[in-house]
Homo-oligomer: A and B are copies of this chain.
Amino acid sequence: MSDSAPTLEDVARVAGVSRATVSRVINGIRNVDTEIQKVVRRAIEETGYAPNRAARSLVTRRTGAVALVVSGAGEPAEHVFGDPFFGRVVAGVVAVLRRHGSHPLLMLADTADARADVLAHLRQGGADGALLVSTLAEDPLPGMCVRAGVPAVLFARPNPPVPISYVDVAHRAGAALAADHLRARGCERLGTISGPLDVPASRERLDGFRDALRGHGPVPNEPGNFTHASGETAMARLLAAHPDLDGVFAANDLMAQGALGVLHREGRRVPDDVALVGFDDSSPARSCRPALTTVRQPVEDMGAELARLLLAHIDEPARPSVSVVFDPTLVVRESA
């Protein structure tokens, strides 16, 4: 045994067979005598052999890694990674990938340079494909991937529309769920705290809410940016402009939580004076007081589907792109 790691050659010598046979045993095992298989396996054991991934990738053109790209504006990285929502996506992704022997390679695409790096990495075969999770209103990365012929799948519909597979939730239907619930519990004067209006998902949640309420008068909205703080300011503004509000729909739980704090400070009881519905069913929703009634996205399942789609596209590059839209459900807790 030499000083460096054992190679196929070493194992073959110990087993008294050829390199090819050892390779056959390790991989698909097309047709190798069981007796020889045993001998080879013993030799592998004995030498402590571990196949070299780089050498294998060189010929198979597969790495067993997929890029998990977080595409966002220049916001601090901890924001994205610290977001439990993203964590749930990751959990779903990992659950599928690990069964397949793959792992996600975490990458940040927060600047044009970073995007170029990500694309270069992909083109260099650093990963077999990419999962793109974007917080950007308009993201050029999906288009770049398509043009470069890199298999990629998006979380959320691509904004500059490109022929690429994606998973999403039915935003309008989810918002309608919230609207119906608020109406059903007797709320008359509703308001909303939306996300940034240039983000399609925000837009759809707002439109879905308003559509469901068509014929019941205008619904005032204050846009936030999905953060706790923006929920607070939005709620304060909404309350200032419409003191008689009795129901609020926030486009995510974090903003709802912020709104909750403001309502409390202003002496409004929730849900008695003002009913509040969030979106996401993230962990804050559960730990809030009062616990948040919210529209649940099956985020883990969506993450899992994201991974499944990518693996399919990697396996079969010519596969037509599809969109998979999940239906949200209403989780009724205390706030509405």
Residues of A within 8 A of B (CB): 5, 50-55, 57-58, 61, 63-65, 68, 76-78, 80-84, 86-88, 90-92, 94-95, 98, 103-108, 114, 120-121, 123-126, 228, 257-258, 261, 264, 283-284, 286-287, 289, 300
A283's nearest neighbour on chain B, judged by CB, is B82
| Partner among B55, B80, B105, B124 whose Cβ is within 8 Å of the Cβ of A103 | B105
| Partner among B80, B98, B105 whose Cβ is within 8 Å of the Cβ of A65 | B105
| Partner among B57, B105, B289 whose Cβ is within 8 Å of the Cβ of A54 | B57
CB-based contact B126/A68 at 8 Å: no
Report Cα–Cα, A314/B125, bound state, in Å.
23
CB-based contact A81/B94 at 8 Å: yes
Report Cα–Cα, A94/B76, bound state, in Å.
11
A55 to chain B, nearest CB (A): 5
Complex contacts, A80 vs chain B, CB 8 Å: 87, 91
Q: Name 15 interchain pairs, CB-CB below 8 A, sorted by A.
A: A51-B124, A52-B124, A53-B57, A55-B58, A65-B126, A76-B91, A77-B94, A80-B87, A80-B91, A81-B87, A98-B108, A228-B286, A257-B287, A284-B287, A289-B289
CB-based contact A78/B82 at 8 Å: no
Query: Given known contacts A50-B124, A123-B50, is B77 in contact with A82 (CB within 8 Å)?
Result: no
Given A78-B87, A98-B114, 17 extra CB contacts under 8 A: A50-B123, A53-B63, A54-B61, A68-B106, A77-B91, A81-B91, A82-B84, A82-B87, A82-B91, A84-B87, A86-B87, A103-B121, A105-B106, A106-B106, A228-B283, A261-B289, A284-B284
Complex contacts, A54 vs chain B, CB 8 Å: 54-55, 57-58, 61, 63, 125
A85 to chain B, nearest CB (A): 8
A90's nearest neighbour on chain B, judged by CB, is B81
CB-based contact A108/B94 at 8 Å: yes
Interface centre among A5, A54, A108, A264 (most CB of B within 10 A): A54
Report Cα–Cα, A288/B80, bound state, in Å.
20
Report Cα–Cα, A81/B104, bound state, in Å.
13
Complex contacts, A300 vs chain B, CB 8 Å: 78
| Partner among B50, B78, B108 whose Cβ is within 8 Å of the Cβ of A88 | B78
| Partner among B76, B106, B120, B121 whose Cβ is within 8 Å of the Cβ of A104 | B106
Report Cα–Cα, A105/B124, bound state, in Å.
17
Complex contacts, A58 vs chain B, CB 8 Å: 52, 54-55, 58
